[in-house]
Structure 1
C-alpha cells in the first residue's frame, strides 16, 4: 500500500524478465532490501535484486515484471526509452497518510490532453483510454497519475476526461515535467470508490434475486387475498 507521495526519482531500463531502476540520488529511498515493495510510476514492484553503489549503499534495484503489468501500463515503453520514473516505498503503519490510499495496481492508461501554465499552478488535462473507468471520477475525487496522488479539479459528465490543478512543488519534484500532450500515463482510480461499487453491486444483485422469490409487495399481498 502507498500514499501517492513521490519520495525519489529514478531512471528505468529494460532487462531480461523485468526492469532495472537506477536512483538519481543514492539512498534517496532509504534502506532498500530484497523483497521490498516499491511503487514505480504507480506500479507496485518487488525488489528482486539490489544494485550496489560505489559507497556501499544501494544505487537502485531490479524487479520482475508480469505480462499483465506490461499490458496495463506504460512501463514497457518507458523502459525502452530509459525514462525517468516516480518512486515511493511501501507505506508503514506508523507513517502519515499525506496523499490517499494507493494500491499500486494500475487500472489502465490515460492520455495527456492538455498542459497549461496558470497563475499559481499547472492545469493537466487527462482522458482514460477506456472511458468506462470514468465512473470512478468526480470533482474532488482522488486519482493516482504515474503514482502521484492528485485531486480532480473538474471532469466531463461521464468522467472519461478530467483535469487537475498541480501545484508548483508537485510539478517540479515529479516526472510531470517530462510529460507532453499525447503521452500515456498510468492511472489508478480511488480504491475506496472501487470497493464501494463492488459492495453495492452485490447488494443490488441480491435484492433483485430476492424480489423474484416472494418479496413483500402490493402484488404479493393481492395475490394472497389481502384487500379483497
Structure 2
C-alpha cells in the first residue's frame, strides 16, 4: 500500500526488454538509479512504486535497484516510455510510522491518460487529462482523489462527456515530482480511487441478489409497479 506522496525522483539507468529480461519473465527488467535515500532499509522482495506502479525489488545496491515488469503491466501503463535517463517518481510501501498524507493507493494502475492542457494559475499549474479508457471516468469526481504517475492529487473538474479531468498542482509539488517535466501529449499512469469501485461492486451485487429473489422487497416493488401500469393502461382503453 502507498500514499501517493512521492519520496524521491529517480532515473532509469537500464531498460532491458523481453527476452533479455532476467527478472521479469517475458516482460522487461528495469534498473533505477539515484535512489540512495529510499534504499537504506531496502530488502529483496520489497515493494516500491515507480510512477504509481507497485513493483518488486529483485536486486539492489547503495544507489540502484532492479524490478521486473510483466507484459500485462506494460500494456496497461506508460512503462514503454521509460527510456534510459527518464525521470520517475518513487515511493516505498508504507510502514507503521508513516503519516498518511495522501490517500489510499494500491499501486495497481487502471489505465493511462494523455496530458491535453497545462496552464499557469498564479504559482500553480492546472493540468488537463483525457482518459484512454473511458470506462474509468465514472470513478473520477470533482474534489475526489486520483493518483497520477504515483502522485496523490485532487480532481478540480471532471467532464464526463469528453472523458477529461483537471488537477491543480502547487509549487511545492511541482518541485518534487516529474509531472511538470512532461509536455502536452505525454502519457501518465492513472489509478482511480478504490472507494468508487468498492461501492459500485457492492451496489451491483445487492441489486442482482434482490432481482434474482422473487420474494425480495425490490422484486415486490417492481411487480407492483408493473401491475399498476397494466391496470392504468387497460383502464384508459
Choose which of 165, 173, 178 in structure 2 pairs with 1:170.
173
Q: Say if 1:136 and 1:159, in contact at 8 Å, map to a contact too.
A: no
Q: Distance in 2 between matches of 1:218 and 1:167?
A: 51
* Deviation of 1:219 (Å): 4.9
212, 221, 229: which one aligns with 1:209: 212
Give the direction of change, closer, same or farther, for the CA distance of 1:168–1:219 in structure 2 (3 Å limit): closer
Q: Which TM-score applies when normalising by structure 1?
A: 0.87
3-state SS, counterpart of residue 216 of structure 1: helix
Q: Secondary structure at the match of 2:55?
A: strand
Deviations 1:158-215 (A, max 9, x none): 4720000101111111001211000000000001111111111111111221248894
Greater Cα shift, 158-167 or 86-95: 158-167
> Quick one: structure 1 residues 90 and 219, their matched pair in 2 at CA, closer, same or farther if it must change by over 3 Å?
closer
Structure 2 CA distance for partners of 1:206 and 1:34, relative to 1, 3 Å = same
Aligned to 1:138: 141
- Distance (whole Å) between structure 1 residues aligned to residue 37 and residue 97 of structure 2: 21
Structure 2 length normalisation: TM-score?
Answer: 0.84
How far the C-alpha of 1:25 sits from its partner, in A, is 5.2
- Indicate the larger mover: 30-39 or 1-10: 30-39
- CA gap of 1:24–1:202, structure 2 versus 1, over 3 A, is same
Structure 1 match to 2:15: 14
Which residue number in structure 1 is paired with residue 104 of structure 2?
Answer: 101
Q: Structure 1: how far apart are the matches of 2:72 and 2:97?
A: 32
Separation of aligned partners in 2, 1:24 and 1:30? 13
The 5-angstrom pairing of residues 66-77 of structure 1 reads 66-77=70-81
Match of 2:57 among 44, 47, 50: 47
Q: Deviating runs (4+, > 3 A) in structure 1?
A: 211-220
Matched, 1:194 2:197: yes
Secondary structure of the equivalent of 2:2? coil
Match of 1:65 in 2: 69
Q: In structure 2, list runs of 5 or more residues that go unmatched.
A: 22-27, 228-237
The answer to whether the 8 A contact 1:135-1:158 is kept is: no
Separation in 2, partners of 1:216, 1:59: 65
Aligned to 2:93: 90
